[in-house]
Every structure is written in structure tokens, then in C-alpha cells.
């Protein structure tokens, strides 16, 4: 199974922990500015993903992976991300990092 971890610079970030193996990362650009970073990770074991608030006071929440959308393949996770960037949309791009 695969999951997508999301971070929004200046707002919050997620960090992979034991049980998650990061495979690919993408930046979501809106008019050239990075609005979000996505990491496709293999779910090797159920775990809790830290979601760290980047605005003071820093708060850390631990979200169980059972609440994350899961994908059978990496290709399906990529397709879910590609849906964010449709042809004809405003100046948006999904760039692999």
C-alpha cells in the first residue's frame, strides 16, 4: 500500500517515520510559488505520522495511517496527484523533486 504525505511550507509539515518508506516527492507550484509538497511513501506498517504545525506555538499531532487515503500502486498515487493539475487550469504545475 502507498500513501501521500502532504506539507504546506509555513503552515505545517509531515515527516516520515518507521513504517513509512518515502519513494518520490513533488512540489505543487501555483504561479511559480511552492504551495505544497507531496511525498509518496510505501506503507510498510501501520504507524502514526507526525504533523508539525510551523506557526508558533509549534504543535505536533500524530495522525494514525488508518486515516490516510491508501493506494494499491505508486502509479495510482501519482494519478491522484496529477488530478491537482489539469490542462487548462491556472498557472499550476506538479514538479518532481
pLDDT at 85: 76
Give Cα separations from 57 to 10, 12, 52, 53, 78 (angstroms): 13, 12, 10, 8, 33
pLDDT of res. 92 = 86
In the prediction, which pLDDT does 89 show? 66
Which domain, by its residues, includes 9?
A: 2-96
pLDDT: which is higher, 18 or 90: 18
Of the chain, the percentage scoring pLDDT greater than 90 comes to 78
Q: 90 versus 51: which is more confidently predicted?
A: 51
* Average pLDDT score over residue span 4-13: 96
Q: In terms of C-beta density within 10 A (0-12 exposed, 13-18 middle, 19 or more buried), how is residue 14 classed? A: buried
Distance (Å, rounded) from C-alpha 7 to C-alpha 36? 6
How many domains does the structure of the chain reveal? 1
**What is the pTM for the complete model shown?**
0.90
Residue 87 pLDDT = 56
Amino acid at each position: 500500500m502507498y500513501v501521500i504525505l502532504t506539507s504546506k511550507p509555513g503552515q505545517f509539515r509531515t515527516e516520515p517515520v518507521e513504517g513509512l518508506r518515502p519513494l518520490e516527492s513533488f512540489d505543487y507550484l501555483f504561479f511559480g510559488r511552492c504551495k505544497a509538497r507531496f511525498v509518496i511513501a510505501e506503507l510498510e506498517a501501520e504507524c502514526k505520522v507526525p504533523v508539525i504545525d510551523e506557526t508558533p506555538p509549534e504543535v505536533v499531532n500524530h495522525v494514525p495511517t488508518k486515516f490516510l487515503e491508501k493506494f494499491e500502486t505508486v502509479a495510482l498515487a501519482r494519478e491522484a496527484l496529477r488530478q491537482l493539475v489539469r490542462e487548462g487550469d491556472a498557472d499550476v504545475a506538479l514538479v518532481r523533486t
